[in-house]
A and B are shown apart, each in its own frame.
Chain A
C-alpha cells in the first residue's frame, strides 16, 4: 500500500463536514428521543405528577396550621404554606426527574443505547450536554403541568369560604398584589432550566460512577431524601436555624437549597433577595455576591455547581481519561 504523504493539517478524503446544521439536527434528535420515550412511559408521567400533587394537596394542607411563614422575600405579605412550598415541589420534580434520567442512563449503558449515542461522530461533551438538555426539557414539561394544576387548586381554595383564606385573599387585594404566578411562569423559566441542568449534570456524573444501580430505592435514600429534606424546600431557613444551627449550615451548603430559592424568586420575577437581606447574609460571612442591591448568591451557586458537575461528568465519560475504560465499562461482560 502506498501511503500518500500529506503536509500536516491536510485532510484526505474528508467525509461530509459536520457543520452547525449537523449539530442542531443532532441536538434536536436527542431531545426528541427523550421526549418520545417519556411520553411512551405513561406511568412515569403519572407518578411524576402525582408525587408533588400529594405533597401539595395533603401535606401542605395539613401543615398550613402548624407552620406560620413570616414575611420573607420574595413574599410581600403573609402567604399560605401551599404558596411557600410550591417552589420546593417544583424543585422536587426536577430532582426526581434528574435522578430518574440518571438511572435510565445506567440502564442505557447496560443495554447499549448509551453506546449508540457515544458512537456518534460529534464531540462527546456535546452529546452528553444534548442528552442533558433532553432530560431538562422533559422535566420542564412536568414542572409546567404541575404549576398549572397547582394554580387551579389555588383558585379553588380561594373560592372556598374558609375564613383564614378569605382574609388573606383580602390582604392580597388590599396591597394590590395580583396572583404572582401569571408572569412568574415566564420569569421562572431560566431558573428552572439552570436548576434542571445542575441536577441533571449531577445525575449524569452519578451515572458514570455508579456501575450498577440495584433500584431506585438506593438513590431515594442516599441522594433524593437528604437533598430534599436538608433544604429550604419545605421550611424557611430561619425556622431551621431556630432549631439547629448545624442543620441550618448543612442546608446552606446544599446546592438544592439554592436551586429552590432561585425558583422561588424566579416565580416573582426576581433573581435574589434585596440587599438589606443580603447584608445580613454578608454579616454571616456567606454572601459574596451583591450586585445592584440584589444578592446573587443563589444564582452563582447554581451556575457554579452546574459547571462543576458537568465538568466531572464529561471527565468521567472522556474516552482516554475517563472512568469507563478504567472500570471495564459498558458491555464489558462478554
Chain B
C-alpha cells in the first residue's frame, strides 16, 4: 500500500534500515534514525564510522540499495527532485569558489535551485544578514577566515529554504570562537524556523543537554535517544565516558 505522509506531518528526515556496501566492506549496517521538526540531532561517530557514507546516500550522490530515506516525506530514490529541493547541505570539505565573491557564490547556488535572479538577490541578502556577513558580500571568499567561510556555506544552504539541514563535521579545523558562532547560528535556526538539523561530529562538547544523539560506530547505530537516556543506558555520568563504554574504544574523543 502506498503511504505518503504530507510534508507538514512527516519528520524532516527519516532513514530506515539502510545498509551500504563498498566492494568488500559494509560501510553502513541497517542504519535507522529520524530527525523531527525543530530538532537538533547529533550524529556522533569517530572518523570512518560511516557518517560521510550516510551523507552521500541522503544527498543522493549514489542510491541506497536497501532501506528507505525520506526528506519531509519524499523518498530520495523515487522522488529525488522534491526531496533534494527540501534539503540543505553543508559539506565537510570547503565547497565555495575561492576566487568568486560571497554573493557570486550564493547566486550560483540559487541558480542550481532554479531561483530567478531578482528573487535570488533578495534571498542572498537575507541569508548573509542571518550569518552576519551582509557587509562583506562583494569580497572574495579567499579573504574570509575559516569560520566566516563556514557561515557563508550555512547561508548558502538556506537559500532554497530547506526543511532539513545536514551538516557534515562543520566545525572541523575552526578555532573555538568560530566554532561557537557556527554552532549558535545553527541552534538559533532550529529554534526559530522549526528546521530539522542532522549534525555529524566527533566532538562531544558540541552536544547540548537536551539534544538527541545517534551514536554510529563501524557502520552500526549503537544508540539513538536523548542525552539523559544515553547517560542512563551506559551508566555513566558524562557523554565521553558513555561513548567510550558503548564503542569499546580507548579514547572517546579523537581531539
CB of A13 within 8 A of CB of B107, answer no
Contacts of B48 in A (CB 8 A): 334
**Beyond A121-B81, A325-B56, 6 extra complex contacts between A and B, CB < 8 Å:** A13-B8, A26-B114, A29-B111, A111-B93, A118-B60, A334-B51
Q: Smallest CB–CB gap between A292 and chain B, Å?
A: 42
Using CB atoms, name the residue of chain A closest to B87.
A119
The interface of chain B, by Cβ under 8 A from chain A, is 1-11, 22-23, 47-48, 51-53, 56, 59-63, 65, 72-73, 77, 80-87, 89, 91-95, 97, 99-100, 104, 107-117, 169
Q: Is A22 an interface residue (CB 8 A)?
A: yes
A12/B6 in contact, CB under 8 A: yes
Do B94 and A111 touch (CB < 8 A)?
Answer: yes
Give the distance to chain A from B200, nearest Cβ to Cβ, in Å. 10
Q: Report yes or no: B97 in contact with A4, Cβ–Cβ below 8 A.
A: no
Q: List 17 A-B contacts (CB under 8 A).
A: A2-B9, A5-B1, A5-B2, A5-B4, A12-B4, A15-B85, A18-B81, A25-B116, A29-B112, A33-B108, A41-B99, A111-B95, A115-B59, A120-B84, A320-B65, A332-B22, A332-B56
B62 to chain A, nearest CB (A): 3
Where chain A touches its partner, the secondary structure class is loop
Q: Is A112 an interface residue (CB 8 A)?
A: yes
* Pair A325/B23 contact, Cβ less than 8 Å: no
Cα distance A213–B61 in the bound complex, in angstroms: 21
Instruction: Say whether A78 faces chain B, with CB atoms less than 8 Å apart.
Output: no
Interface residue tally for chain A (C-beta within 8 Å):
57
A121 to B74 CA separation, bound complex (whole angstroms) = 12
- Beta-carbon contact of B6 and A21 below 8 Å: no
Given contacts A5-B2, A12-B73, contact A23 B60 (CB under 8 A): no
State whether B114 touches A320 (Cβ < 8 A). Answer: no
* 0/1 interface trace, chain A 118-130, chain B, CB 8 Å (1 if under): 1111110000000
B81 touches A122 (CB 8 A): yes
Contact assessment for A325 and B9 in the assembled complex, using a CB-CB cutoff below 8 Å: no
Question: A320 and B63: CB pair below 8 A?
Answer: yes
Contacts of A202 in B (CB 8 A): none
Is B111 touching A115 in the complex (CB atoms < 8 A)?
no
Q: Mark A13-50, 1 if CB is under 8 A from B, else 0.
A: 11110110111011011101100110011000000000
A113 at the interface (CB under 8 A from B): yes
Distance in angstroms between the alpha carbons of A41 and B98 in the assembled complex:
11
> Which of A29, A121, A334 sits near B52, CB closer than 8 Å?
A334
State in angstroms the CA–CA spacing of A35 and B66 once bound together: 40
User: Is A329's CB under 8 angstroms from B62's CB?
Assistant: yes
Nearest B residue to A9 by beta-carbon distance?
B2
